[in-house]
Amino acid sequence: MKEISAILLAGGKSKRFGSNKRDIVFSSETLIASAIKKLNQIAEDIIIVLSPDDNSFNYQEKVVFDQISDKGPLIGIYSGLKNIRNEKSIVIPIDTPFISIEFLQYLVESSNDFDAVIPLWNNCLEPLIGIYSMSIINDLENWIHSGNKMAPHLFLESLNKPRINFINESNIRKFGNPEKLFLNINTTEDLNKAQSLI
């Protein structure tokens, strides 16, 4: 499955964890290495998005930096979209170790004729795991430059709903328990919980 790019969000400050999360070793490999391995099986190219002050990296994949500093993952998505090779892109953060290749492939297969594909469960969006199309780039630029809050879910809610394919919980559960599938590691307690679920 190709003709799609990938944006790997790795620009977080990791303040709650205390050290750079991309270097966390989980199940015998770093979080970023695990994410890259998964994306390489689906996407033609991978863009790793880092914060502008981050110079401690050494990756074969293309690295870009947040175009605006300290504004959160929506800027990371925007910065990645500005550099992708294909019309559509898989977006994931580095700190969701249980996101599966099968689920990501399902998102890709669900993206026809939509500007975005976003999981929705427990009445909440998972906006950092999904498919984003270049067709939203103007909407995103307008949102950023209009001084709106940089919350991805607010931006998505501003789009016309027919443009977004919301993946409901019953479909998500075909690939596992969403509490595990979307578990992200923000603290050492989260890491301990994730390790107990291996």
pTM of the shown model: 0.93
* pLDDT of 14 higher than 70: no
Q: Strand 25-26 and strand 116-121: pairing?
A: unpaired
CATH number of domain containing 24:
3.90.550.10
Q: Distances in Å between the alpha carbon of 125 and those of 128, 151, 166, 178?
A: 9, 11, 8, 12
Q: How confident is the model at residue 17 (pLDDT cuts 50, 70, 90)?
A: low
Length of the chain as a residue count:
198
For residues 37-63, give the mean pLDDT: 89
What's the domain range around 61? 5-196
Number of neighbouring beta carbons within 10 Å of residue 67: 14
Q: Provide the mean pLDDT of the chain.
A: 91
pLDDT at residue 15, rounded to an integer: 57
Number of separate domains in the chain: 1
Q: How confident is the model at residue 91 (pLDDT cuts 50, 70, 90)?
A: very high
